[in-house]
Structure 1
Amino acid sequence: MDTQTEPITADSLIAKYATDIAFVAEEEPATTLHDFAYQVTVAAERFEGAGINGGDELETGAQYLVDAEYATDDNVRTVLFGKAAEYLARANDMADEYRDMC
C-alpha cells in the first residue's frame, strides 16, 4: 500500500488558500509566494480586527512562507512549507466566518 503523499509546495498552498486569503485582503489572488505571504499577513490583521480567532496563527504561517521563499536548500523549504501548512489549516474556515460578518 502506497501511503506517500505529495510534498507541500508554494504552488499547492497558493492553490488551496489564495482565493479565500485574497478575499479577506481585498486583493486579486496571489500567484507568487511573495505576494501570498503578504496577503496572509494582511488577512491575519483583518481577522484579528474582526475578532476572529486564529490571526496569530496565520501570522506565524506567513513567517514560515517568507522563510521558505529565502531558503536555499530544498529540504529546508519542504519543511518550512509543511510548517506553514499547519498554521494555515484553518484559513479557509476563517475566511468563511469573515464573509458571514460582511
Structure 2
Amino acid sequence: MTTTAPVTTESILTRYADDIAFVAEEQPATTIEDFIDQLRWSVRNFELAGINGTEELEDAATYLGDADGSTDENERTVLLNRAVESLAYADDMVSEFRDMV
C-alpha cells in the first residue's frame, strides 16, 4: 500500500511558487497569502496571453484562502487537496506561457 505525503501550504509553495511567480512577474511567494495574490495576477497574465484554464487557478486561490482561514484541520485538509486538484494544469499553462514570452 502506497501512502502519499499530506498536502500542506509549504508543499504547495515548494511545488508551484517559482512557476506562478514567473507568470505573475514577481519573486516566488514565501507565504500562502503572497501565493494567492500571485495566482490572481497570473490569471490576468494568462488571460492576456489567451491561455485557457484560468478558472481553475481562481478556484485554487479561493480554496487556499479558505484553507488559510480555517481552524478545522479536516476542513483545511479537504480545501488544500481541492486547491492542488485545481492546480493540476498549472505546469502546462506555465509552459505555454514561457513559449510565448
Q: What's the TM-score bracket when you normalise by the shorter of the two chains?
A: over 0.9
- Name the residue aligned to 2:93: 94
Which structure 1 segments of 5+ residues have no match?
A: none
- Name the residue aligned to 1:74: 73
Q: TM-score of the superposition, structure 2-length normalised?
A: 0.96
Offset of 1:96 from its aligned partner? Answer: 1.1
* Maintained 8 Å contact 1:21/1:92: no
- Name the residue aligned to 1:46: 45
**Matched residues in 2 for 1:43 and 1:17: separation?**
12
Offset of 1:47 from its aligned partner? Answer: 0.7
Number of aligned positions between the proteins: 101
SS of match in other structure, 1:80: helix
Which structure 2 segments of 5+ residues have no match?
A: none
SS of match in other structure, 1:8: coil
Structure 1 stretches of 4+ with a deviation exceeding 2 A read none
Offset of 1:3 from its aligned partner? Answer: 1.6
SS of match in other structure, 1:98: helix
For the pair 1:6 / 2:27, whether they are aligned, the reply is no
SS of match in other structure, 2:16: helix
* Maintained 8 Å contact 1:18/1:36: yes
Structure 2: which amino acid aligns with 1:17?
Y
Identity %: 54
**Matched residues in 2 for 1:83 and 1:32: separation?**
19
* Maintained 8 Å contact 1:21/1:40: yes
1:37-65 deviation per Cα after TM superposition (whole angstroms, max 9, x unaligned) = 11111111211121101011101111001
1:61-82 deviation per Cα after TM superposition (whole angstroms, max 9, x unaligned) = 1100110110111111111000
